[in-house]
């Protein structure tokens, strides 16, 4: 099977969920014997030099990149806002990328064109014009819901209004084009159900984020001192807001009951307010060179987010290492195989979240048992070879039944 993968940024470095999702899918497709080509935008905001490309790219049939200036331009942003158009989408509509896509479709034949995320979907008409390939939209998030949640949780009225306008324009685009593809590969059953409820009539399958077998392996539980940790992109607003909520409303309750408790925070682009603020019992590491090394001696991951969409990759990665996880209902979204109280603990209020933290900090056996349950869950439901085999089988079956 010959597959062309389109992305709105080069899926490297592997320091965020989107890049990991694309990277692991590329690896999974190769595991299934597919011939894979990659066409990526090399954007101004996430520029990657060719000498930095990962070794995985050497296994692909070809890698083509196109420089795209996706910086936010105030005049263009205002124009789209006034017209009710999505500037989030418009920033990735690029003539040079369209020309590169046209060339590759005219020169080669593909069985499938895989659209990784919403921001490359404007190229569907061009693909239809130059190819008979099955078009599969791999849905990473219900994008407009991210902005809707951000608008709801933002205190500044002007900012709330602006975020609401962005969400409305993005929703209009996302729902208008929901039936443009031949197949949707949703990241979770919740997202698949959302598209069905919105009137999507094309086939939808659930293809979750998956981890290579080599990454599913437990760390030893630290018997000396249990500690909490969080690691994630700190330039992502839901992470910033979630950690601030935890520090201001949850952490004081935890310290009252467990005065020796310690929290470790890591992540790229850590806001100065976190590094300069006085938070008793908190160590702020900022960006770390090796995330696995940072997590090695820590036992309890917290993911206290209240907005955002898609699936929290860090939760799956930590479960694969046998960590205990405390999160919110939003944080657990997309990981439907996990059960609250078994593989993970879920709480949406500060007192309940603090209670879970206190319970785990005081009970190493509970941490060990939860970590084991989480580890086994990942092996059963989120192992890359199993997930990619199902996905490729689905693509083949759809291609065989395609009567276009």
For residues 260-294, b (16+ Cβ closer than 10 Å) or e, as one string? ebbbbbbbbebbeebeeeeeeebebeeebeebeeb
- The residues of the chain that CATH labels 3.40.50.2000 are 2-210+383-401, 214-381
Domain 2-210+383-401 grouped into CATH 1.10.580.10: no
Question: Distance between CA 309 and CA 130 in Å, rounded?
Answer: 33
Question: Distance between CA 56 and CA 40 in Å, rounded?
Answer: 15
Question: Distance between CA 300 and CA 81 in Å, rounded?
Answer: 42
Of the candidate ranges 144-153, 181-190, 221-230, 312-321, the one whose mean pLDDT is the lowest: 144-153
Question: Distance between CA 374 and CA 178 in Å, rounded?
Answer: 34
Is the model more confident about 219 or about 340? 340
Tell me the DSSP string of 328-358. -HHHHTT-TT--BTTTBEE--SHHHHHHHHH
Instruction: Compute the average pLDDT of residues 230-237.
Output: 88
Does residue 69 have a cis bond before it (omega within 30 degrees)? no
Task: Name the 3-class secondary structure at 309.
Answer: coil
Residues 6 or more apart whose Cβ sits within 8 Å of residue 330:
149, 305, 306, 307, 308
How many Cα atoms sit within 13 Å of 8 on the Cβ side? 22
Task: Identify whether the C-beta of residue 210 lies closer than 8 Å to the C-beta of residue 390.
Answer: no
Q: Which pLDDT band, with edges at 50, 70 and 90, does 226 fall under?
A: confident
What percentage of the chain has pLDDT greater than the value 90?
A: 68
Task: Report the predicted TM-score, pTM, of the whole model to 2 decimal places.
Answer: 0.85
Q: How far is CA 270 from CA 18, 69, 121, 275, 373, in A?
A: 19, 25, 32, 7, 32
> Looking at 232-333, which runs of residues are DSSP E strands?
263-266, 282-286, 300-303, 324-327
Residue 152 in this model has a pLDDT that exceeds 80: no
Q: Which pLDDT band, with edges at 50, 70 and 90, does 403 fall under?
A: low
Task: Name the 3-class secondary structure at 202.
Answer: coil
Is the model more confident about 315 or about 164? 315
Give which of 288, 364, 360, 372 is closest to 323, Cα–Cα.
372
At 102 the pLDDT is 98
Of the candidate ranges 141-145, 179-183, 238-242, the one whose mean pLDDT is the lowest: 141-145
Is residue 241 exposed (0-12), middle (13-18) or buried (19+ Cβ within 10 Å)? buried
CATH class (in words) of the domain with range 214-381: alpha beta
Task: Identify whether the C-beta of residue 322 lies closer than 8 Å to the C-beta of residue 218.
Answer: yes
Q: Residue 209 CA to chain centroid, in angstroms?
A: 8
Give alpha helix (H) positions in 263-339.
272-276, 291-295, 313-320, 329-332
Question: Distance between CA 234 and CA 246 in Å, rounded?
Answer: 14
Instruction: Compute the average pLDDT of residues 275-300.
Output: 90
pLDDT tens digits, one per residue of 334-391: 898 899 999 999 999 999 999 999 999 999 999 999 999 999 999 999 999 999 999 9
pLDDT tens digits, one per residue of 95-133: 999 999 999 999 999 999 999 999 999 999 999 999 999
Residues 6 or more apart whose Cβ sits within 8 Å of residue 389:
31, 32
- How does the average pLDDT of the chain come out, rounded? 91
Task: Identify whether the C-beta of residue 22 lies closer than 8 Å to the C-beta of residue 13.
Answer: no
pLDDT tens digits, one per residue of 248-285: 999 999 999 999 999 999 998 899 888 888 899 999 99
């Amino acid at each position: 099977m010959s597959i062309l993968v389109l992305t709105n940024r080069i899926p490297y470095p592997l320091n965020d969920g989107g890049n990991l999702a694309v990277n692991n899918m590329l690896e999974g497709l190769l595991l299934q014997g597919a011939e894979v080509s990659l066409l990526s935008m090399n954007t101004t905001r996430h520029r990657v030099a060719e000498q930095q490309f990962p070794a995985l790219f050497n296994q692909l049939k070809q890698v083509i990149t196109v420089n795209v200036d996706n910086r936010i331009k105030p005049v263009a942003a205002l124009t789209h806002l006034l017209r009710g158009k999505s500037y989030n989408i418009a920033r990735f509509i690029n003539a040079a990328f369209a020309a590169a896509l046209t060339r590759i479709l005219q020169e080669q034949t593909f069985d499938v064109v895989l659209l990784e995320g919403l921001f490359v979907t404007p190229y569907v008409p061009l693909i239809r014009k130059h190819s008979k390939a099955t078009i599969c939209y791999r849905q990473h998030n219900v994008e407009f819901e991210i902005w809707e949640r951000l608008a709801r949780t933002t205190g500044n009225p002007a900012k709330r209004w602006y975020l609401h306008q962005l969400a409305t324009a993005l929703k209009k685009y996302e729902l208008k084009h929901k039936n443009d593809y031949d197949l949707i590969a949703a990241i979770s059953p919740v997202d698949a159900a959302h598209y069905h409820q919105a009137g999507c009539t094309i086939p939808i399958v659930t293809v979750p984020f998956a981890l290579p077998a080599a990454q599913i392996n437990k760390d030893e539980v630290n018997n000396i001192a249990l500690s909490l940790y969080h690691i994630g992109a700190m330039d992502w607003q839901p992470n910033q807001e979630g950690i601030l909520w935890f520090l201001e409303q949850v952490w004081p309750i935890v310290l009252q009951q467990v005065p020796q408790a310690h929290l470790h925070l890591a992540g790229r682009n850590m806001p100065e307010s976190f590094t300069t603020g006085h938070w008793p019992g908190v160590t702020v590491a900022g960006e770390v060179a090796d995330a696995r090394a940072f997590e090695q001696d820590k036992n309890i991951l917290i993911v206290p987010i209240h907005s955002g969409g898609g699936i929290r990759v860090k939760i799956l990665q930590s479960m694969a290492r046998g960590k205990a996880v405390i999160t919110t209902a939003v944080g657990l979204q997309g990981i439907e195989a996990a059960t609250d109280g078994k593989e993970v603990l879920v709480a949406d209020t500060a007192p309940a979240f603090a209670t879970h933290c206190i319970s785990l900090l005081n009970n190493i056996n509970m941490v060990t048992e939860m970590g084991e349950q989480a580890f086994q869950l990942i092996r059963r439901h989120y192992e890359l070879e199993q997930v990619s085999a199902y996905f490729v089988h689905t693509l083949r079956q759809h291609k065989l039944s395609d009567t276009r």
